[in-house]
Structure 1
Amino acid sequence: MEIAGADVRRVLGIAGELEDAGSERELRGRALGALMELIPADAGQAYRLSVDGAGVSALSVPENSFHADPRVIYDHPLDHPLTEIMLETPTSAAWRVSDVAGDRQWRRTHCFNLDFRPFGLRRHLVATAGAGEGAVEGYALVRSGADFSERERDLLGFAQLQLAGVERRLADRQRLLAFSAAALALAASHGWGVAVRGEDGRAQPLNALAADLLTVVRDDPRLGHEHRFTVRDVEVWPVPPAAPESPALVLLRDLARGRAAARLFGVTEQEHRTLRHLHDGRTATEAARRMGLSPTTVRGYIASLHRKLEAGHTAALLRRGRDLGLLTD
Structure 2
Amino acid sequence: MLKLQHAQQLSAALVPLYADPRPDHMLGRLSGAVSEVMGAELTCFDVFDAHGQMLNLGSNSPSLFTPSMVGHLAEHIQAHPLFQGLFIERRPTPLKISDFCPNHRFVKTDIFNDFYRPIAVTHQLVVAFEVPGLGLTTCALSRSHADFTETERALLAFVQPHLIALMQLAFPLALKGLARAAALASTLGLTVREGDILRHLAQGRADKEIAHRCRISPRTVHNHLRSIYAKLGVDNRTAASLRAVAGY
> TM-score when scaled to structure 2?
0.50
Structure having the higher helix fraction is: 2
Which has the larger strand fraction? 1
| Higher radius of gyration, 1 or 2 | 1
TM-score w.r.t. length of structure 1? 0.39
Q: Which has the higher contact order (CA 8 A, sep 6+)?
A: 2
